[in-house]
Amino acid sequence: MYQRRDFYRHARYVHGWLSAFAFIVLIFFALTGLFLNNPNWFQPSEQENTTSMTLPASLLSKVRHQENPSTEILTVIRQQQHLIGHFQSSERLDDTEMMIRLESPAGSTDIDVMLDTGKVEISQKPASVVSMLDDLHRGKNVPQTWKLLIDISAILILGLSIAGYILFLTLKTRLLSHLVLTAISLSTLIGLLYFAL
């Protein structure tokens, strides 16, 4: 008897402790999930900025024969330009041209580098607020710390839900109706999943 009471008391404690953070995270992911599921509600960002610059001759002589000099090139460019995004990929097209791609939830940057002349064309496309929230929701183009937050949030919400469901079933006078609601909810979810596949 006491063990059961202790179990339910601990379930209430866990539910209470997890609620504050989990509810904030749940609101964020529910809202961004709504945006993600209804992209036609908002206009996509069409703004694109293009700038140019020239790399110094000393850098060109250093990187001209490197297979992938993207790190050195980006370091110099970032000293003169504010770039949107984190390094995503690079491709050396031939001996004289290289493409570098940066991406993040804040937007994307395409950099075209001419290794013979040092001319650099930079095209940046900032993301709209909604698309940025969508990328954060999906964990797309985000650093590992944000991916870790998503995993922690999922575990906390799962723990909160299990603790809450245990408390839901502790009301003995309503246990039958709660079990019926559980069966209906589970059947509805399975039915919707069946028609969605």
This prediction's pTM: 0.65
pLDDT in tens, 54-113: 999 888 888 877 888 888 999 999 999 999 999 999 998 887 899 999 999 889 999 999
Count CB neighbours of 39 within 10 A: 12
Q: Which CATH number fits domain 49-127: 3.40.390, 3.10.450, 1.10.3470, 3.40.50?
A: 3.10.450
Alpha-carbon span 72 to 100, nearest angstrom: 12
pLDDT in tens, 128-140: 878 888 888 888 8
Domain positions in the chain: 2-42+131-187, 49-127
